[in-house]
Structure 1
Amino acid sequence: MTEPVLLVLDYPGRRPEARVSDLRLEEAGYDVRYLMQPPLPRGASVADYTAEALATAGPDNDAAHAVLAYCGASALGQEVALRIGCPRLLIFNGELCTPQVVGTEYRALLESVTGEPVALPDWWDTDLLAEHSGDFLQRCESHLREHVRRSLAEQAGGELDDQDLQDAEEALAPLLDGFLDWLAYLAASHRTDYPDFDAEVISFLSQDQPAVEPWPGARATETVRIATTRDDLLADPTTRRLVLSALDGSGPDDAPAPAPARPDPFDGGSR
């Protein structure tokens, strides 16, 4: 018997919060496919980003039983569910990736390089962030690289020669790539219009997490509040029990009929 396929969007970076993998859904007989695996997508829009993620996930994704997404990846999960016509979308502490969120995260990256608060660059604006192009990431890469060089020179008392600088930049290249992976994820999560989704979204929330109700584009949103912390939401036995109930159709509610699949964006441009 073929195991039901679950598609998961959960950013793999370091964090204190438990992960979707902590639900141990494989032990319940599901074929769990984690779409966000290195090398991570760098698509310039939510459609391009999720297309890249799906391309690495293996066969038979169109027959997925459900899509699960954590936090800011909820918009990506919605796009995946629309693309493949999946009727079940489960999100965990789902959040909208606003321009303010992206700006805050970018400043945090800059401060991790410089060791002090840094203002957003003059070219930063919401129109550039909203564009479905690679210009935003290209500017971020140049800006981050400039700050890395400046920080290295300051740490060396301004005495780095070209070879020293090149060696230092090569050593820091994986760090810069990680920064750009994170920014690409944030930009893609922001670059969505939350299109109508003819299915119910089941939103699992920790005890203090603000609810997004209704979830944008969803036909209906069912909120399931778990009496646990944000860090422990995905490791809590109650969460696991209720997720399994939702997946087998016995609750929180039976899943609706399958939604129509979204056309491939590469056939006629992407959002």
Structure 2
Amino acid sequence: MGDLQGSVLVCDFVGRRAQAPVSALGLETRGFTVHNLLTSPYPRELTAAGYADQLWRRHGPFGADVRAVLAYCAAAPIAQEVAATLHARTGVPVPLVLFDGEPATAAAVQAEYLLAAGKLGELLGVDPAHRTPPAVDPGDLRVRPQQVRQRMFEGLLELGDRASRDGSVDPATARAEAEMFATYYLDWLSHLIAGHNASWPAWGGPAVQIVSRHHESGAEWPGASHTETIRIAAERDDLLRHPEVAAAVLSILRRENCRAS
């Protein structure tokens, strides 16, 4: 049945977030073959193009049966690179369907780094006054991304050292906890840095922005042949569970099926 309906490529870094995943759409039950590209082990490339190339090499190649590329939030720039690769390899200009899609800004990278530091500091019992690591230089994210990532990793490890110096956790346990936590978050932070370092290539197809009630979206998505925006009366956490979202995605995929047949 999947061969009859075609396949979709999904870029969704689920992690431990509260927001519903793209899998909540249940496209497999509607006869589509779903390729979830963001699975462990995650790439550590620090540009959107390099990251997408690793996903293609691991999970592809993909062909003309692909009906759309779907992406959630900050995975949008990487998904766009996947769509561009698909177009270059097959000549197929598929829709890029974005759920609360947005660029990965320097501010977002910094915010997620601080969030990780706060969580680790709380876990290790570090004084709140000592949980904030040095800020990320926005300019360095593009020109020195590896050094930025390394500094973030070391900043998280430093919280383990701080906990052992404060006496809240014994040194061996503090270091082990910090290393495990920092390694886990390095996947997510690498993903955000890669999304930040995007080239926004044209891929020959449209962008469909499906957005929650309060999400800010631009009128035109960069690189798209044209942009359609569908606003759903749902909060961000529940966007992908909303029946109107599933109906909109199915309409797009069925339209692409008719075009391909």
TM-score normalized by the length of structure 2: 0.86
Distance 1:61 1:109, change over 3 A: farther
Residue by residue over 1:23-59, the C-alpha shift from the partner in whole angstroms, topping out at 9 and shown as x without a partner, is: 0000111110111111111112111111222222244
Following the alignment from structure 2 to structure 1, what is the Cα–Cα distance between the partners of residues 158 and 178?
13
Aligned residue in 1 for 2:165 = 153
Aligned partners of 2:133 and 2:155 also within 8 Å: no
Q: Cα RMSD (Å) of the superposition?
A: 2.4
Q: 1:155 to 1:241 in 2, by over 3 A?
A: farther
Aligned to 2:74: 72
Partner of 2:148 in structure 1?
136
User: Of the candidates 96, 102, 111, which is equivalent to residue 118 of structure 2?
Assistant: 111
For the residues of structure 2 that align with 1:33 and 1:132, how far apart are their CA atoms?
Answer: 32
Given the alignment of the two structures, is residue 102 of structure 1 paired with residue 109 of structure 2, yes or no?
yes
Query: In the aligned structure 1, how far is the partner of 2:248 from the partner of 2:189?
Result: 32
Deviation at 1:111, TM superposition (A): 1.6
Inter-partner Cα distance in structure 2 for 1:132 and 1:53: 23
Unaligned runs of 5+ in 1: 258-271
The question of 1:194 aligning with 2:200 is answered yes
Who is 1:11 aligned against?
Answer: 13
| 1:89 shift after superposition | 0.8
> 2 CA distance for matches of 1:44 and 1:30?
31
Equivalents in 2 of 1:190, 1:220: separation in Å? Answer: 22
Q: Which runs of 5+ in 2 are unaligned?
A: 88-92, 123-127
Aligned twin of 1:121: 134
Cα distance in 2 for residues equivalent to 1:233 and 1:201: 18
Q: How much does 1:192 deviate?
A: 0.7
Higher helix content, 1 or 2? 2
Question: How many residues are paired up?
Answer: 247
Partners of 1:149 and 1:169 within 8 A in 2: yes
For 1:131 and 1:63, locate their aligned partners in 2 and report how far apart those are by CA, in whole Å.
38
The answer for the alignment partner of 2:189 in structure 1 is: 183
Whole-Å separation in 2 of the counterparts to 1:69 and 1:200 = 14
